[in-house]
Structure 1
Amino acid sequence: MRRWKRTLTAAALAAALVTGTAGWAAGSGQLPVTGPPPGSGAWRADTSLGRALPDPARTAPDGIAAFFRTLTESQQRDLAHRHPSVVGNLDGAPVALRYEANATALRRDARFAHLAGRQVLAFDPRGRGQVAEVYGDLTRSRHVAVVVPGADIDAGTYDRATDPYGTPAGMGRELRAAAGDTAVIAWAGYTTPVGVGLDAATGGLAEAGAARLVRLTEGLAAVGAARPSVFCHSYGSVVCGLAAPRLEVGDLVVLGSPGMRADNVADLGTTARVWAAKDPSDWISKVPNVELLGLGHGTDPAAPEFGARPVPVAGARGHTGYFAPGTDSLRTFAAIARGEVR
Structure 2
Amino acid sequence: MPADRPAAVRPAAGIVLVDKPGGMTSHDVVARARRAFGTRKIGHAGTLDPMATGLLVLGVEGATRLLTFIVGLDKTYEATIRLGAATDTDDADGVIIEERDASSLASADILAAIEPLTGTIAQVPTRVSAIKVDGKRAYDLARQGIEVELKAREVTVARFDVLAERRDGQAVDLDVVVDCSSGTYIRALARDLGAALGVGGHLTALRRTRIGPFDVAGAASLDGLADASTLSPAVVAAAVLGRLDVTDDEARDLRHGKRLAGAATRLDGGRAAAIAPDGSLVGIVERRGDDLKSAMNMPEEQPR
Range class of TM-score, shorter chain: under 0.3
Structure with greater proportional helix content: 1
Question: Which of the two has greater strand per residue?
Answer: 2
| TM-score calculated relative to the size of structure 1 | 0.23
Larger Cα Rg: Structure 1 or Structure 2? Answer: 2
Higher relative contact order, structure no. (Cα contacts within 8 Å, ≥ 6 residues apart): 2
